[in-house]
Amino acid sequence: MSDIKVVRVHADQRAETSVTTGTKAWELFRDDADVVAARVAGQLKDLAYELADGDEVEAVAIDSADGRDILRHSTAHVMAQAVQQIWPEARLGIGPPIENGFYYDFDVETPFVPEDLVKIESAMRKIIKENQRFERRVTTDADALTELKDEPYKIELIGLKGGAGAEGTEGASVEVGAGELTVYDNIGRSGEAKWSDLCRGPHLPTTKRIPAFKLMRSAAAYWRGDEKNKQLQRIYGTAWESKEALEAHLERIAEAEKRDHRKLGRDLDLFSFPDEIGSGLPVFHPKGGVIKREMEDYVRRRHIEEGFDYVGTPHISKEGTFHLSGHLPYYKDTMFPPMEFEGADYYLKAMNCPMHNLIYRSRGRSYRELPLRLFEFGHVYRYEKSGVIHGLTRVRGFAQDDSHSYVTEEQAPGEIKHLLDFVLGLLRDFGLDDFYLELSTRDDSKPDKFVGSEEQWTNATDVLRTACEESGLELVPDPGGAAFYGPKVSVQAKDAIGRTWQMSTIQYDFNQPQGFDLTYQAADGTRKQPVMIHSAKFGSIERFLGVLVEHYAGAFPPWLAPVQVQAIPVAEFAADYLHDVARQMKAQGLRVEVDDSDDRMQKKIRNAQLQKVPFMVIAGNDDIEAGAVSFRYRDGRQDNGVPVAEAIERVAAAVASREQV
């Protein structure tokens, strides 16, 4: 038996070792129970991989990103085995790891119900206990087709192997890679194959290496993500390297639920969605109205400071406008059906740009006017499918903080940079400061979905890309995500618990100026066509408000808080004193309420706490005698005996600086 040399790689260290031929990867890592796989020359391999001379081998720990993917993928296999154990007629779809978990799709007669998940979980626990071994087996297309004759979906995947189809089917690549075809057998104690699945791997060595998992929910999903295909039943689960990590994950979910803007919107009396009005059509209550107005006032002011002109346009228009803009042919299905009267079809507007174009076109324009920037809170209505409506983040009627910059082609790059700086600054003002950019381009395989020449698209995309790169932010490509009239940049912001939200968009449009025949007179006397740059800063006021509710978990910074100061008398005798303090605060434009109900003081504090009011101002005899008040903050911190004038100044300063307290 001859020796071979392998290189063990660990972080920046490399160490050459001699091992005997036939040594398996696990033998290198036998003293580390956290290692679940090996990375050999960049490729993930099972621990049962037989080392070859010259291999560079790196341990993959279960708590690394790759390790978790492997764990989750293996857990998905165990789940599929459990499902087929209980429902032998269930046919297998795909079962990839996803962020924070995994899923597996099944074709079953009856959809799963929550009790089924309990049954499946206990069958999975049994399989895990049995400590079945995941064993890789190389096969051929022909053999696999015979072996999997009862698994039509797997057979379809084999047919796609290596082709464009497999890439286009999310998750399919974990089943069939571009290389050789492999099956994983789950081997029981006595060496018999308990279950097999077409799979690229790698997997954990054994089922017992699954430390903690939980099935989360079941839902339908179209086969290969295409709504023309049959819906399969998908079960989502999660798996972690330890019970503690699973627990922490479940806590993060619970934390996200606590922040859910739909729940907080009700608890804090901000907004509601009356059934009587219709799905996806929110109303703002007085407290939500305060936040919305503060947002709008601030954003309007900033736009004006940045050289925008505030305009106003109607909610409906005759159809011709939307033909000119090109929207009707492309987006008729997402507009509300027309109202017919006086012999014309009127549509609720789904976008503001056509109206702004008409303002531009209302008279002749000179190059001296450019960039011409029109801005408004335009209320648009979109017929979103019933299944996609979601709180304030996906609605059927909303206000866009929409602007259109009309510029010469030469001015376009500068204007885009200006817009990008502007929106990032705005988002920072609202407390979001972790961003990345996404560049949505046209899908070259679907030219009929996009208007304009290839050259125009290339030029527009390049202009946007350059501006993005100059921003220094991370740039993520989004092929095929563009609007029909041009490419777009969107700003993705991370919130307080790390979730990303699509916020602002900037779109380069060479198409509508042509449709509306927009022109300006250049310095040399010729007529030229301007370029139009669409930009929404929050996207939608409603949506951004929802995002802010979740970002702040309802505890808004004072400048946005519906009630900035809740004044609480220690007892009834102190109420007049606080009413007087409140009058002084209101005179400074602060939002103050005095709780003169006959609740006990402790109860009033609790109520203010639950309403997440930033400043509680409390007064009793001690304060009155000293001409002072006592602060209590949301975190329970106290600051007693603050002179009234200083207290007012403190609140006013926090509001003015837009800081959180």
Catalytic residue positions, numbered: 353, 382, 400, 402, 404, 488, 534
* Sequence-distant contacts of 23-32: CB under 8 A, at least 24 apart: 23/50, 23/51, 24/48, 24/49, 24/50, 24/51, 25/49, 25/50, 25/51, 25/57, 26/205, 28/57, 28/59, 29/59, 32/59, 32/61
Which of 114, 94, 112 has its CA nearest to residue 104? 94
* 11-48: burial string, b at 16+ Cβ within 10 Å, e else: eeeeeeeebeeebbbbebbeeeeebbbbbbeeebbbbb
Q: Is the CB of 259 or the CB of 365 nearer to RNA?
A: 259
Nearer to RNA, 298 or 383 (CB): 383
Between CA 281 and CA 389 the distance in angstroms is 10
Label the pairing between strands 344-348 and 316-318: antiparallel
What residues contact 11, with CB distance under 8 A and at least 6 apart?
Answer: none
Nearest to 508 by CA among 434, 450, 432, 448: 450
What is the DSSP annotation of 237-251?
EEEESSHHHHHHHHH
Q: How far is the CB of 316 from RNA (least distance, A)?
A: 14
Residue positions forming the annotated binding site for Zn(2+): 353, 404, 534
- Bond before 371 cis per omega within 30 degrees: yes
User: Annotated binding site: which residue ranges?
Assistant: 353, 404, 534
- Strand 101-107, strand 181-187: pairing: unpaired
CB 645: neighbour CB atoms within 10 A? 11
Other CB atoms within 10 Å distance of the CB of residue 336: 15
CA dist., res. 366 & res. 554, Å (int): 48
Q: Which is nearer to RNA, 19 or 98 (CB)?
A: 98
C-beta closer to RNA: residue 429 or 593:
593
Of the candidates 76, 117, 79, the one whose C-alpha atom is nearest the C-alpha of residue 97 is 76
Non-local (6+) Cβ contacts of 528 within 8 A are 367, 408, 519, 520, 521, 522
Supply the minimum distance, in Å, between the C-beta of residue 191 and RNA: 38
Which is closer to RNA, CB of 15 or CB of 388? 388
- Closer CB to RNA, 104 or 184, in the complex: 104
Minimum CB–partner distance for residue 377 and RNA (Å) = 16
Closest contact distance (angstroms) between CB of 116 and RNA is 10
Cβ closest to RNA, residue 134 vs residue 577: 577
Positive or negative torsion for Cα 518, 523, 525, 526: negative
* Least CB distance to RNA at residue 280 (A): 6
Nearer Cβ to RNA, position 559 or 615? Answer: 615
Please provide residue 279's backbone torsions phi and psi, each rounded to the nearest 5 degrees: -65, 135
What string of DSSP letters covers 570-624?
SSGGGHHHHHHHHHHHHHTT--EEE--SSS-HHHHHHHHHHTT-SEEEEE-HHHH
Nearest CA to 28 among 11, 5, 2, 12?
5
Tell the smallest beta-carbon distance from residue 110 to RNA (Å).
8
User: What does the alpha-carbon distance between residue 340 and residue 348 come to, in Å, rounded to a whole number?
Assistant: 12
Q: Which residues have a Cβ under 8 Å from the Cβ of 301 and sit 6 or more positions away? A: none
